[in-house]
Amino acid sequence: MHLGQIAAQTPDKPAVIMAGSGRTVTFRELNEESNRLAQLLRAEGLRPGDHIAFMLENHPHFLAVAWAAQRSGLYYTAVSTRLQPEELAYIVDNCGAKAFIADASVETAARSAPDVPLRLMLGGTVPGYDSYEERVAPYPPESIGDECEGVDMLYSSGTTGRPKGVKPTLTKGPMGSQNILYGLLSLLFQPDADSIYLSPAPLYHAAPLRYSMTLHRFGATVVVMEKFDPEQALAAIERYRVTHSQWVPTMFIRMLKLPDETRARYDVSSLKAAVHAAAPCPVPIKERMIDWWGPVLHEYYAGTEGNCFVYTNAEGWLAHRGTVGRPLLGEVHVCDEEGRELPPGTPGTLYFGNGPVFEYHGDQAKTAASRDPGGHGWTTLGDIGYVDEDGFIYLTDRRSYMIISGGVNIYPQESENVLAVHPKVADVAVFGVPDTEMGEAVKAVVQPLSMDDAGPALEDELIAYCRDRLAHYKCPRTVDFRAELPRHPTGKLYKRLLRDEYWPTDDPATT
């Protein structure tokens, strides 16, 4: 449905509620704010097919900025607020943005943004920026005359090398046109105008942004957490009677490690669909979540690239524990390094055919590397996995994280999943480090629940714990301890940053 239609029907209904402050943006306010910005963008010369970028925390106006671009037929790039100034400058320049919007909380990084024609700042100004509020306010709250659907162009997180911009096809269809995600959500989770959606992650990430905007198309209310906190997430579910939500496994782990009495304090019975993705979920963690929340858990595997959508509900997962589901969009092919298809149960690179095709903006080499060697045009997100006899997909690891020790392939996700559920572990990363005899050795870096436990005794305990559950060659030979691991607010682990500390700077695998 069209945002303007929803605003006309239910003008005073909350469209956005900020979970921490309680600040509410109604559908009328969201519609009018996005219209004013769209009017400004047109006045500044931006036309369908042009590009804007924005770097905002989970701000009450975040979704208004996105909707302004969406209804103006623009490409829009939401940029992580965790980026360093040079990384921000690269993305804004690479995407060809003609406008850039930031908020005052990220002004240090924002100073490095290229001098694009229009630069606006929310909540304050710095040299080179106009006040967002002052520039937008004079424009009328009515829709522009040439409204058409835009599309996001988001960048991969850059865990290896420069981030890659995923550029989809811009249809410029009429506003209110249904997209693939709208159809999938309708089929799988049945949201409606009475739904309350909780977004606990940063909105600049692909799934929170796309799901929040799609839930708006149903007329649903989106509750946005300014920052994830395990207990506050449970409090938000109870307070707002949340029906739909989306998570990553690290959020589950942190909620499960709350004291039993804390978890029992909150009523989560309003949940109809708790969706999770972004990383494989350890089997014991998902079992405990289903025991706690019931059969409302849904899992999918997909990517910013949009080339596939793999899905399972709780019933399917319980019958195939550890799976990420079966493809609903795209046909899976498991291939070896030469592009030969592999039989069920054999790990290989996951490729998908008969689905949407993508390209990496301005990078033909990376686009070509995402295609299968056999020349079928199948595309990959770079993950290793296998398919069982029933067609269910299991992820093994990222191809770039595979450890080769003594000629044997080791997938660190296996030992990470084991160590993540140890009662003294808050977070863990496993990767390969140089070894003169074996080429690589398995290393774990652990964030303990208490740094007081860090030391040789816990190292021995964790190695023994892993060896009791996995083949010894898959387990870490050594364990280092850190007070915190470099993890993105969405839950994505920046394993490369850890791994690079252990490898020589001239190691080709780190570039």
Give DSSP secondary structure letters for 338-387. TS-B--TT--EEEEEESS---EETT-HHHHHHTB-TTSS--EEEEEEEEE
Closest Cα partner for 179 from 167, 190, 171?
Answer: 171
Q: What is the mean pLDDT of each run of 10 residues along the chain (511 residues)?
A: 94 98 97 98 97 96 98 96 84 95 89 91 94 98 97 73 81 89 94 97 92 97 96 98 93 92 97 89 92 97 90 97 95 93 94 90 87 92 92 82 75 88 93 83 94 96 94 92 82 78 60 34
CA angle 114, 116, 119 (to 5 degrees): 100
Q: Fill in the DSSP letter of residue 474.
A: G
How confident is the model at residue 507, as a pLDDT?
44
What pLDDT is attached to residue 87? 82
Look up residue 352 and give its two tokens.
């998908």
User: Phi and psi (nearest 5°) for 139?
Assistant: -85, 150
Residue with tokens 């900025």: 65
Do the domains 178-304 and 329-400 sit in the same CATH topology, yes or no? Answer: no
String of b and e for 182-194 (b: at least 16 CB within 10 Å)?
bebbeebbebeee
Residue 26 has a pLDDT of: 98
Radius of gyration of the chain (CA): 23
Ordered by start, the domain boundaries in the chain are 26-176, 178-304, 329-400, 402-510
Cα 123 to Cα 461: distance, rounded to the nearest angstrom:
50
- The pLDDT value recorded for residue 160 is 45
Burial of 288 (0-12, 13-18, 19+ CB in 10 A): middle
CA dihedral of 204, 205, 206, 208, whole degrees rounded to 10: -90
CATH no. for 26-176: 3.40.50.980
Rounded to whole angstroms, the Cα distance separating 431 from 444 reads 7
Give kind and range of the element (H or E) at residue 133: helix 132-136
Name the one residue in this structure whose structure tokens are 């993305």: 91
CB-facing half-sphere around the CA of 236: CA atoms within 13 A: 26
Identify which of 300, 311, 263 has the alpha carbon closest to the alpha carbon of residue 278: 300
Query: Hey, which CATH number is domain 178-304, 3.60.21.10, 3.40.50.980, 3.40.640.10, 2.70.98.10?
Result: 3.40.50.980
Give residue-wise pLDDT tens across range 405-451: 876 778 788 899 899 999 999 999 999 998 877 778 999 999 999 99
CATH architecture of 329-400: Roll (2.30)
Fold for domain 402-510?
A: GMP Synthetase; Chain A, domain 3 (3.30.300)
pLDDT, tens only, 172-210? 999 999 888 999 999 999 999 999 999 999 999 889 999
pLDDT of residue 489: 62
Q: Output the pLDDT for position 508.
A: 38
Q: Which among 453, 419, 341, 421 has a CA at the least distance from the CA of 386?
A: 341
How is residue 50 written in tokens? 């042009």
What is the per-residue pLDDT for 226?
96
Q: Residue 358 carries which side chain, given as an amino acid letter?
A: F
Closest CA to 271 of 300, 295, 253: 295
In this prediction, residue 400 carries a pLDDT of: 67
Amino acid (one-letter) located at 498: L
Strands 166-167 and 359-360, sheet pairing = antiparallel
